[in-house]
């Protein structure tokens, strides 16, 4: 099946059902309990710096393990899985001196997810999608990392845009959507959007874009200071296939901000919270039934079109979320408003 056919099928399903995204990749990788040699595999056996914790290189050093995680999420009811490419950029991989293999990591991550999706689709007669995960990198364009020099930046916009452009180009042959996720700095997200639009102009292929921000705490703002509605105003020019929130908060704390996006966005709403807030050990205690109870209420209240899980969630969480969402109809996007919408930290709208 072609990408266009898969997207059309998922579009059609999204009109009548809430689509299900997968859960956390990191949680599942942690359960593998890999040591340094497990991360290195044969390809990186002699690598000159430690690599344990670089989850994305498992696309190259332990591909069957990554593919099995995708398959487990599909078997739990996911319509779409995210590629294991959250940090597959030259910027993020510089922490491990792996800038030169960032493209290979991105390409193999997308290929493994596509392979898993196609195998499950052939076995079940269903359509399964792949979202190319694009993380925020470990650099910020809006905030100085040096408290005594507010104007300092470790990277510039063009460097970030180019890193995303290379990552996206490597993933493009295998995916159905680009997912810019866990956005804490909207300027980083704009660099990713620019990279995807540049890739679209270069290749002529219109791969839909999904955008997911992160409200970092109960202040209701991203790390760079924007409210949820201001964030929407900042990225709506990308005409995303879906807009939403993930990470940082559990479902209970995230609900008001999902509700705000649902009130104003003229596209689908995606939401995938953590399994509650981490405990003192950094672990997540919320059970699948507890998470599903929250997200089932979102579904029945007409807030969402796509549900999944972020940190701490497992295939069991996704299975429970899918069951809770099944009876509910998807949210209907609100009509586009004919207004000038500007944003800083808060939105500004000038009606026509």
59 annotated to bind ligand? no
DSSP states of 36-103: HHHHHTTTTTT-SS--TT-GGGHHHHSHHHHHHHHHHHHHTT-SEEE-S-TT-SHHHHGGGT-GGGHH
| Length of the chain (residues) | 352
By the 8 A CB rule, do 317 and 247 touch? no
Rounded-to-10 torsion of CA 294, 298, 300, 301 = 130
Q: Is 194 helix (H, G, I), strand (E, B) or coil?
A: helix
| Long-range contacts, stretch 293-298, CB < 8 angstroms, 24+ apart | 293/324, 294/250, 294/251, 294/252, 294/255, 295/251, 295/271, 295/321, 295/324, 295/325, 296/321, 296/324, 296/325, 296/328, 298/251, 298/255, 298/258, 298/271
Residue 335's alpha-carbon distances to 19, 80, 213, 266, in angstroms, are 21, 26, 22, 6
CB 314 within 8 A of CB 27: yes
Distance CA 232, CA 222 (A): 12
Q: Which two tokens stand for residue 275?
A: 């399994």
Residue labelled with tokens 């190259």: 60
Q: Is 310 annotated as a binding residue?
A: yes
Q: What would the two tokens of residue 112 be?
A: 């493994």
Please tell me the distance from the alpha carbon of residue 73 to that of residue 68, in angstroms, as a whole number. 9
Q: Residues 345, 234: contact at Cβ < 8 Å? A: no
Find out whether 309 is annotated in a ligand binding site: no
Dihedrals phi, psi of 197, to nearest 5 degrees: -70, -35
Match 């709506």 to its residue by tokens.
236
Residue 187 · residue 235 · CB < 8 Å: no
Bind-site residues for Zn(2+): 247, 310-311
Bind-site residues: 247, 310-311
């Amino acid at each position: 099946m072609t990408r266009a056919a898969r997207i059309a099928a998922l579009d059609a399903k999204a009109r009548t059902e809430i689509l299900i995204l997968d859960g956390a990749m990191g949680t599942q990788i942690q359960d593998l309990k890999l040591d340094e040699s497990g991360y290195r595999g044969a390809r990186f056996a002699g690598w000159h710096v430690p690599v344990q914790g670089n989850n994305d290189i498992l696309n190259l050093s332990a591909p069957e393990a990554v593919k099995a995680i995708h398959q487990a999420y599909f078997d739990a009811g996911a319509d779409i899985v995210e590629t294991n490419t959250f940090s597959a950029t030259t910027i993020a991989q510089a922490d491990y001196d792996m800038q030169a293999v960032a493209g290979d990591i991105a390409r193999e991550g997308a290929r493994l997810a596509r392979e898993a999706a196609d195998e499950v689709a052939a076995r079940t007669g269903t359509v399964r999608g792949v979202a190319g995960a694009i993380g925020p990198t470990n650099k910020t364009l809006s905030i100085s990392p040096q408290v005594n020099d507010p104007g300092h930046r470790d990277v510039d916009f063009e460097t970030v845009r180019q890193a995303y452009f290379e990552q996206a180009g490597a993933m493009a042959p295998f995916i159905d959507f680009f997912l810019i996720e866990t956005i804490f700095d909207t300027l980083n997200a704009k660099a990713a959007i620019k990279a995807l639009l540049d890739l679209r102009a270069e290749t002529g292929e219109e791969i839909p874009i999904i955008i997911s921000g992160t409200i970092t705490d109960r202040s209701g703002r991203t790390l760079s200071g924007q409210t949820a509605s201001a964030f929407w105003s900042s990225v709506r020019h990308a005409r995303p296939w879906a807009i939403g929130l993930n990470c940082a908060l559990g479902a209970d704390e995230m609900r008001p901000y999902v509700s705000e996006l649902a009130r104003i966005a003229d596209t689908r709403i995606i939401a995938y919270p953590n399994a509650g807030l981490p405990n003192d050990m950094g672990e997540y205690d919320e059970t699948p039934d507890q998470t599903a109870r929250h997200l089932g209420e979102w579904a029945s209240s007409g807030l969402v079109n796509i549900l999944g899980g972020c940190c701490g969630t497992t295939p069991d969480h996704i299975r429970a979320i899918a069951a809770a969402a099944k009876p509910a109809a998807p949210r209907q996007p609100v009509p586009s408003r004919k207004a000038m919408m500007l944003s800083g930290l808060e939105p500004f709208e000038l009606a026509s």
